[in-house]
Amino acid sequence: MDSATRLEQADAVRRLWDKDPSLFSDDPAVQELVANRLGWLGLGEEALPVIESAHSLGWTGETVRAERISDIVLLGMGGSSLAPLTMRETVPAHSAAPSLTVLDTSSPTAVEYLLTSFDPASTAFVIASKSGGTIEPRSLYAVFREWLEGSMDAEAAGARFVATTDPGSPLEELARAEGFHAVTSTPADVGGRYSALTAFGLLPAALAGIDVARIAESAAAMEEACRRPVSENPGAQLAAWMHDAYEDGRDKLTLVASEGLGAFGLWVEQLIAESTGKLGHGLVPVLESGPDSADAFGDDRMVAVVRWHSDDALAAWAEELGHRMPVTQLVLDDPHDVGAEFVRWEVATALVGHLMDINPFDEPNVTEAKQTTASILAGELTVPEPSFTVDGVEVTYPSGEAPSAPADLASVLRDVVSWLGEKDYLALLVFVPGDDTYTRALRKAVGRVSRKIGRPVVLGVGPRYLHSTGQLHKGGPNRGVFVVVSARGSEPIPVPGEDYTLEDLVKAQADGDMLTLAAHDRRVVGLTLPDARVSSLGKLAEAFSQAIR
């Protein structure tokens, strides 16, 4: 029975929109959890209060000149940052609005750049966390609060922050105690990765001069379409396509996007990986750079092409590729149509969860790496000593016996590549600044290696990926080979009120994930570079390329 027929027979579309938790489990305990995660249904139609709240803050439009705000920095991770990042990269903004910087990293290098390049007198912050206790935005808040207070009094500094969080969270308490400009409450029954159309997504985008009303309009139109019968339902059709391919052994969901739509892939990556990667199941998102990578696509791939209506070249490529593997094309006429795509993919992902017989709204393995990081920072857990150092890079094998020290780093990586089986993928997980200056050489190397070995190779930037694909890595099928890369040598940036620096935090996160992956019997090796300079990352990229020559 094909997946579309299964959805019809289960009356899945009606039950989803009726918020019936039995669609996802017969277990009353699971049903109770699911019932508290279905608030995302209908958010496009209900977005007006969020939009009005954003415009009432006084940091948009003409009022920006009076406030002298030229830059807004979003401090958030995962579901609190990827939707506004997508909208910033995809949708044109009003020229008079502040610039939006999404800081979803605790990288000392990235933070130091902001501290030295931005002007405290013209910078404001949105700190976003559903739980209100996420360590990265909490630590970044402490750093930037101290930075502001170096130029203004405490009251004025507090007024430069807006908090976006669930009601009653520790962040809400902090915001009220420390004089934030405003606290914007988010629906408690909407999980982070389904929160694009809540204040987590819409507030920063609106502050940056993006017409979020048009985004909400496109979302509402897609919501109406996704209430239709399966045969006419864009979300259900996408779900059936994904699950049919998955049942056929194609678990690598490959996304190829038109220029200007690449950031949308990061949002889809989190939604799919964190929703489906559990209980040994999971779709593995693979973000490809373009048609030139298709020669490496094997029989474990399905390909979703997200393109502009005018991108005839990508349309022709997708049609040709469709002769040898499952391909679907999702077409946007206007940048504001990203709102519709948020809805389409959310509905599709929820229905895939039903078809896979999993709960698509929990993330049972995400907290493990967080807890390990906390134990490392508290001195309660010791990280294994490096097995050896080669080319200035410390190499750690956290599980199993290490091989003899090889001649160079390329040999280490060549050995890691040899661990890959027929249906496996390789993940290079790097704790470095996420902007293109630092990752360009690594992304090119990932493409070269993937084409050469004919296996999917993905690049995850930490700590972002911990809140995205990290669930899949640990809870999904054991088909991943992982290289966790961190670096030393950053300028220490103390976190006020804590006993650690940002460098300590990043290193603990990298080591914590390495140890957690090993605890789940994943094939993993850790690399510690002497520093995070572009030249050092270039050497790593070159060694990676040499490994397959």
* CA 370 to each of CA 359, 376, 378, 511: distance values in angstroms, whole numbers, following the listed order: 21, 10, 12, 11
Query: What's the confidence (pLDDT) of residue 67?
Result: 66
**What's the predicted TM-score (pTM) here?**
0.96
Cα angle value 249/350/77 (rounded, 5°):
100
Residue 400 and residue 530 share a domain? yes
CB 197 within 8 A of CB 43: yes
The verdict on residue 264 lying in a domain is yes
Please provide the size of the chain in residues.
549
* Total number of domains in the chain: 3
Residue 348 and residue 374 share a domain? no
The verdict on residue 221 lying in a domain is no
Tens-level pLDDT at each residue, the chain (549 residues): 899 999 999 999 999 999 999 999 999 999 999 999 999 999 999 988 888 888 787 666 555 555 688 999 999 999 999 999 999 999 999 888 899 999 999 999 999 999 999 999 999 999 999 999 999 999 999 999 999 999 999 999 999 999 999 999 999 999 999 999 999 999 999 999 999 999 999 999 999 999 999 999 999 999 999 999 999 999 999 999 999 999 999 999 999 999 999 999 999 999 999 999 999 999 999 999 777 777 779 999 999 999 999 999 999 999 999 999 999 999 999 999 999 999 999 999 999 999 999 999 999 998 898 999 999 999 999 999 999 999 999 999 998 778 888 989 999 999 999 999 999 999 999 999 988 999 999 999 999 999 999 999 999 999 999 999 999 999 999 999 999 999 998 788 999 999 999 999 999 999 999 999 999 999 999 999 999 999 999 999 999 999 988
> What b/e sequence results for 236-248 when a residue is b if at least 16 CB atoms lie within 10 Å of its CB, and e otherwise?
bbbbbbbbbbbee
Residue 194 per-residue DSSP state? G
* CA 394 to each of CA 397, 488, 533: distance values in angstroms, whole numbers, following the listed order: 10, 10, 16
Q: What is the CATH number of the domain that holds 462?
A: 3.40.50.10490
- State the residue for tokens 């009251």: 155
Residue 486, SS3 per DSSP? strand
Which residues in 397-533 belong to E strands, given as ranges?
A: 425-430, 457-461, 480-487, 523-529
Residue 488 and residue 342 share a domain? no
Tokens read off for 66: 């009076």
- The domain containing residue 164 runs over which residues? 48-216
The verdict on residue 41 lying in a domain is no
> What sign for the dihedral angle of Cα 112, 117, 121, 123?
negative
Neighbouring C-alpha atoms within 13 Å toward the C-beta of 384: 19
Residue 430 and residue 342 share a domain? no
Q: At residue 502, what is the residue type?
A: L
CB 322 within 8 A of CB 242: no
Round to whole Å and give the CA distance between 518 and 93: 44
Write down which residue in 300, 325, 356 finishes a domain. Answer: 356
Q: Which of 282, 249, 241 is nearest to 423 (CA)?
A: 249
Write down which residue in 160, 186, 216 finishes a domain. Answer: 216
Residue 375 and residue 338 share a domain? no
Q: At residue 306, what is the residue type?
A: V
Residue 52 and residue 22 share a domain? no
Residue 373 and residue 348 share a domain? no
Write down which residue in 309, 328, 356 finishes a domain. Answer: 356
Query: What's the confidence (pLDDT) of residue 66?
Result: 55
Residue 185 and residue 77 share a domain? yes
The verdict on residue 97 lying in a domain is yes
Round to whole Å and give the CA distance between 522 and 533: 29
Residue 194 and residue 70 share a domain? yes
Residue 512 per-residue DSSP state? H
CB 199 within 8 A of CB 54: yes
The verdict on residue 40 lying in a domain is no
Residue 239 and residue 196 share a domain? no
Round to whole Å and give the CA distance between 244 and 13: 17
CB 305 within 8 A of CB 330: yes
Residue 177 and residue 112 share a domain? yes
Determine the angle formed by the axes of helices 212-225 and 234-247, rounding to 10 degrees. 70
